[in-house]
Structure 1
Amino acid sequence: MARGTPSLMALLGVLAMAGYQNRDKLAEMLGRATGGQGVPGEGGRAGGQTGAQMPRGNDGSVGAMLNDGLRDLLDRFRGAGHGETAESWVRSGPNRPVEPTHLESAIGPETLDELAQHTGLSREEVLSRLTRTLPDAVDRYTPEGRLPG
């Protein structure tokens, strides 16, 4: 599979580095973005970067970038035959766990290698962190059972 888009790479990188322990800050950041306000450049830190340093989405906001990343992530899981797993994270109800091999097939080995290089984590650690944090993170970012507008 091709390299990840900047939106997908940023979303996964933030989740791998910030992890579940910072889920409230990440949810707050995405929540502000879905209100159309974006994230001010002088805001809090996420994954070691300020809002001003993080990649931006189509409308110039960090929130749009995260929304684009969520859409790309779900599309990749569908394309890899694991759409039901990823869609369980969006829908109300229990989240299905993701197997490391399924995550790798969805995001692609090139994306995984790039995440490891940019985060300084081993490939295995990136997979481990993402399999632990991704289902709950997507669930929190889609509280109404659908992707943000």
Structure 2
Amino acid sequence: MSLFDQLGGLLGGESAGVSGAVGSLLEQHGGLSGLLEKFNSGGMSELVSSWVGTGSNLPVSAEQIQQLLGGEQLGALAEKFGLDPQQLSQGLADYLPQAVDKLTPDGQLPQGNALLSQGLDMLQGFFNKS
């Protein structure tokens, strides 16, 4: 069980499923840089640049997430985390721009353990909003 899976279990509900799915995507793509490369190669480099950069974040749609990940990968993730694929794609669309933005506060990908520490802090803050 990955660290994101464990954290997701603590959060509960849909938030747990989305955070767990993000963790799985990060693992499957070799970390944040690998996941962002998938978005870049999928024709979404303008979105990624806005998320990493210091300006405002451009939105991504659930349909773009579905198109990028494909039905098989999205379905497997949704099943693993107990969500409907549409629910998961919408959750990822809502969450990823903010997550990437918070993981890249200086407009650059953090190195090594700094990413893990920042990621955990960011996830706790993101899902503990009132």
8 Å CA contact retained: 2:29, 2:35: no
8 Å CA contact retained: 1:74, 1:87: no
Alignment RMSD: 2.8
Q: Which runs of 5+ in 1 are unaligned?
A: 1-9, 18-44, 55-63
Structure 1 CA distance for aligned equivalents of residues 29 and 77 of structure 2: 19
User: Equivalent residue for 1:88?
Assistant: 50
Structure 2 CA distance for aligned equivalents of residues 122 and 129 of structure 1: 10
**Among 61, 79, 101, the residue aligned to 1:117:** 79
User: Equivalent residue for 2:65?
Assistant: 103
Structure 2 CA distance for aligned equivalents of residues 88 and 66 of structure 1: 23
With normalisation by structure 1, the TM-score equals 0.56
SS in 1 for 2:8: coil
**Among 108, 118, 121, the residue aligned to 1:146:** 108
User: Equivalent residue for 1:47?
Assistant: 8
1:75 is the counterpart of 2:30: no
Deviates more, 1:65-74 or 1:90-99: 65-74
Change (3 A) 1:137 1:66: farther
Structure 1 CA distance for aligned equivalents of residues 103 and 28 of structure 2: 10
SS in 2 for 1:68: coil
Give the deviation of 1:87 after TM superposition: 1.9
Change (3 A) 1:145 1:67: farther
Structure 1 CA distance for aligned equivalents of residues 88 and 58 of structure 2: 19
Give the deviation of 1:65 after TM superposition: 5.1
Structure 1 CA distance for aligned equivalents of residues 108 and 29 of structure 2: 11
Structure 2 CA distance for aligned equivalents of residues 124 and 72 of structure 1: 23
Structure 1 CA distance for aligned equivalents of residues 71 and 55 of structure 2: 30
Give the deviation of 1:106 after TM superposition: 2.0
Matches within 5 A, 1:12-51: 14=4, 45-48=6-9
- How many residues are matched? 96
Q: Which runs of 5+ in 2 are unaligned?
A: 11-19, 21-25, 112-130
